[in-house]
Structure formats: structure tokens, C-alpha cells
């Protein structure tokens, strides 16, 4: 069924910035030992950590870095493990977690938190995985 009707799955994770208290008590320390303060330094550090984590994950979860294609033999969709890569977007927002309300309930406004990819008529041009860091 998933090959007949491919579905888009959106997953949104919410985290407080290190200036509000890091997950697990970890603090964001820059290369020179300076503490990042929730400004551009922290955003760059977090985005870099996520990129590095994606690189590690994609070693074993490599199909996520590929694209869908139509099989010439069967005419069905299949994953082409071509290494085209994951699309990563970094964005900025003035919103605070408190502004979003109850996070475990769906709200249409949450769709603004998901990167919008312009779909191509050629399915092999669409990324399978898109990651966005919004600060």
C-alpha cells in the first residue's frame, strides 16, 4: 500500500534553548571554552551538531538519503540509494515555546514549522528526508 499511496510523515520535536536550560543539563560550550548564550553562536553549534548526527545516522540508514524512482521493470516506486542527500534547512523565529501552547495537541499552525519542499513532477528529484532547525 505504501508504494501505491506514498505518505508524508511530519515529526516535530520541541527543545528549549541552552539559555533556558539544556536537555540533560548539558551546556553549550564553544571551541575556545566560551559559553554560547542562545544567540547565533548557539544556533550554529546546534545546527552543526544536528548535521553531524545526520551524517552518522545516514551511514546505517542510507536509504533516507536517496530518492524514489519508478522501476523500469515493474513500474513501481522503489528507493534509489543514490546518496543525493537529506535536505537541511535552518530558519529563525521570534516565537517562544510558551507561545505554542499545549505541544502534544495538533494545531494547523504547527505546519508552519515544517519545511515546505516544492514537489517536482519528477519524483526522483524530491528528497525522502527533510530536516529543519528553527531557532
Q: For 101-114, write each residue's pLDDT tens digit.
A: 888 888 888 888 88
Q: Is position 58 within any domain?
A: yes
Q: Is position 11 within any domain?
A: no
Is a pLDDT exceeding 80 seen at residue 28? no
Q: Is position 23 within any domain?
A: no
Q: Which residue bears the cell 511530519? A: 10
Secondary structure percentages of the chain, helix, strand, coil, to 5: 35, 15, 55
Tell me how long the chain is: 135
Domain residues for the domain of 105 are 30-134
Q: Is position 18 within any domain?
A: no
pLDDT at residue number 39? 57
pLDDT at residue number 121? 84
Q: For 56-71, write each residue's pLDDT tens digit.
A: 999 999 999 999 999 9
Percent of the chain with pLDDT over 90: 22
Domains contained in the chain, number? 1
Percent of the chain with pLDDT over 70: 77
Q: What rounded mean pLDDT belongs to the chain?
A: 78
Return the number of other C-beta atoms located less than 10 Å from residue 102's C-beta: 7
The pTM of the full predicted model, rounded to 2 decimals, is 0.68
Give residue 36's pLDDT band: very low, low, confident or very high (50, 70, 90).
very low
Amino acid at each position: 500500500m505504501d508504494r501505491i499511496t506514498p505518505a508524508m510523515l511530519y515529526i516535530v520535536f520541541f527543545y528549549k534553548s541552552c539559555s533556558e536550560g539544556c536537555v540533560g543539563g548539558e551546556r553549550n560550550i564553544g571551541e575556545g571554552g566560551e559559553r554560547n548564550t542562545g544567540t547565533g553562536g548557539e544556533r550554529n553549534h546546534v545546527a552543526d551538531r544536528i548535521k553531524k548526527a545526520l551524517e552518522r545516522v545516514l551511514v546505517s540508514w542510507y536509504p533516507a538519503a536517496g530518492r524514489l524512482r519508478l522501476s523500469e521493470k515493474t513500474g513501481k516506486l522503489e528507493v534509489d540509494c543514490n546518496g543525493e542527500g537529506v535536505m537541511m534547512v535552518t530558519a529563525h523565529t521570534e516565537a517562544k515555546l510558551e507561545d505554542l501552547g499545549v505541544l502534544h495537541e495538533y494545531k494547523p499552525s504547527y505546519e508552519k514549522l515544517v519545511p515546505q519542499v516544492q514537489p517536482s513532477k519528477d519524483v526522483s528529484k524530491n528528497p525522502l528526508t527533510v530536516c529543519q532547525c528553527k531557532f
